[in-house]
């Protein structure tokens, strides 16, 4: 898709004069350049400073690719053995997640909430990016693979906001974990850790009677955003189901090759959506994104923050929702508070930010799921925090969090 706009030629010297100007002739621009002149798909540099040999994102990605290529065969062998030993694969599908220590409470809540509803989490495979989250995932009793060579250098802290350096660095883990399992020939349900299940979503994707979805190679939760960088699909890369075939394997291999652009744009979602567009057109990749208003199976942050009719139906137990994805939320602190007042928090306060050595005695005990009994509540841990956000019960005495929309969820 080509785009023509009335804009000046871009140079390093005219960054403040790049905006649309109707007196200028039409010229060819990238289709993600906005009328104000902002390029939402700026390309990565080879060098940040050539004289000082400071590598740009492109050179950094060359190094990362070399590590991947040197180790991919041994990693796939390890994963094959792990999946067989733990009997992870179910109906050729694996639920894949990745986590660092900064987001470990959200992973813990996912497992605890699933356990409270009686869901089997034996087909969940977690790719931690540091030792602490590796031990935590083992303590939660889920299959765990720590790719130290490729992911061991990623930051362990929590992202403070969407797109910050920690958030951007973790995008590489989201690329690799799906690619690995797909290359082994297994379908993947990838999900972020800020999710709770109301029903096992695999039952939806495995339902052969639902012929309308069986033809698609990859199916996404709708992101809810109309930003141009997510067009035309507006697919949410934090919850999707991908069938293992040569089209999707090449899609995620291509995503790996675009890793420098992922780092530069601080979003693997943005890059993945553009590859969906290209691969759909070029190779016939069949992509499904569930409509954000006409379907209610996979609600996310858009619904939590803006579509309160959907949230009320979930609270009343009248929804067809399989999950709730707490996307569109600035940081982990708020996600935790929103889950608590929705009655969807099950990870005990005594275990939050506690040193794992205080919870598990060490040795083999770390791998036996011992954290589930010590840290998982069978009943939701509820507390009110904001009256202008959805909650299980009214929170009239709580403050507002969004001053631009001063209204109470319960009226």
- Provide the whole-model pTM: 0.91
The pLDDT confidence band at residue 81, using thresholds 50, 70 and 90, is very high
Contact indicator for 315, 303 with CB cutoff of 8 Å? no
Q: How high is the pLDDT of residue 352? A: 86
Highest-scoring range by mean pLDDT, 133-137, 148-152, 188-192 = 188-192
| Measured distance CA(390)–CA(311) in Å, rounded | 7
Give helix 246-257 / helix 57-86 axis angle, nearest 10°.
140
Between the CA of residue 25 and those of 6, 8, 39, 256, 337, what are the distances in Å?
Answer: 5, 9, 19, 38, 52
pLDDT band at 357 (very low <50, low <70, confident <90, very high): low
How many Cβ atoms from other residues are within 10 Å of residue 331's Cβ?
A: 15
CA–CA separation, 35 and 380 (whole Å): 47
pLDDT band per the 50, 70, 90 thresholds, residue 365:
very low
**Percent of the chain residues past pLDDT 70, beyond the cut:** 91
Interacting residues of 155 by C-beta distance below 8 A, sequence separation 6+: 100, 102, 165, 166, 169, 170
Please measure the distance between the N-terminal and C-terminal CA atoms of the chain and give it in whole angstroms: 46
* DSSP alpha helix (H) spans, 206-245: 211-214
Residue 362: pLDDT over 80 = no
Q: Taking residues 316-321, what's their average pLDDT?
A: 97
């Amino acid at each position: 898709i080509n785009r023509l706009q009335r804009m000046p030629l871009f140079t390093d010297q005219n960054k403040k004069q790049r905006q649309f100007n109707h007196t200028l002739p039409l010229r060819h621009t990238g289709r993600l350049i906005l009328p104000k002149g902002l390029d939402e798909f700026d390309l990565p540099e080879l060098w940040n400073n050539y004289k000082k040999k400071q590598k740009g994102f492109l050179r950094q990605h060359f190094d990362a690719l070399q590590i991947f290529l040197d180790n991919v065969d041994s990693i796939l062998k390890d994963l094959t053995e792990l999946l067989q030993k733990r009997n992870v694969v179910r109906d050729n599908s694996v639920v894949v997640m990745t986590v660092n220590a900064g987001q470990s409470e959200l992973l813990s809540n996912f497992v605890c909430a699933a356990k409270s509803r009686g869901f089997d989490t034996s087909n969940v495979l977690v790719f931690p990016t540091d030792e602490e989250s590796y031990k935590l995932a083992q303590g939660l009793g889920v299959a765990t693979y720590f790719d130290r060579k490729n992911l061991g250098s990623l930051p362990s802290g929590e992202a403070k906001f969407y797109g910050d350096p920690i958030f951007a660095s973790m995008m590489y883990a989201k690329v690799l974990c799906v690619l690995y399992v797909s290359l082994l020939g297994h379908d993947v349900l990838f999900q972020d850790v800020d999710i709770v299940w109301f029903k096992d979503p695999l039952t939806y994707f495995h339902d052969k009677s639902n012929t309308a979805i069986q033809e698609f190679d990859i199916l996404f939760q709708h992101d809810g955003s109309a930003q141009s960088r997510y067009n035309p699909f507006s697919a949410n890369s934090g919850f999707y189901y991908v069938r293992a075939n040569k089209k999707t394997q090449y899609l995620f291999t291509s995503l790996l090759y675009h890793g420098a652009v992922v780092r530069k744009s601080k979003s693997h979602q943005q890059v993945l959506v553009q590859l969906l567009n290209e691969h759909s057109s070029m190779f016939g990749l069949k992509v499904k994104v569930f409509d954000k208003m006409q379907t209610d199976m996979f609600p996310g942050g858009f619904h939590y923050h803006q579509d309160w009719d959907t949230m009320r139906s979930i609270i009343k137990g009248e929804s067809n929702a399989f999950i709730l994805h707490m996307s569109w939320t600035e940081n982990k602190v708020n996600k935790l508070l929103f889950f608590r007042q929705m009655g969807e928090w099950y990870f005990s306060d005594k275990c939050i930010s506690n040193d794992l050595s205080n919870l598990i005695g060490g040795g083999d005990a770390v791998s036996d799921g011992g954290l589930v009994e010590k840290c998982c509540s069978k009943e939701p841990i509820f507390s009110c925090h904001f009256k202008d956000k959805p909650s299980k019960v009214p929170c009239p005495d709580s403050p507002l969090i969004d001053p631009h929309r001063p209204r109470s969820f319960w009226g």
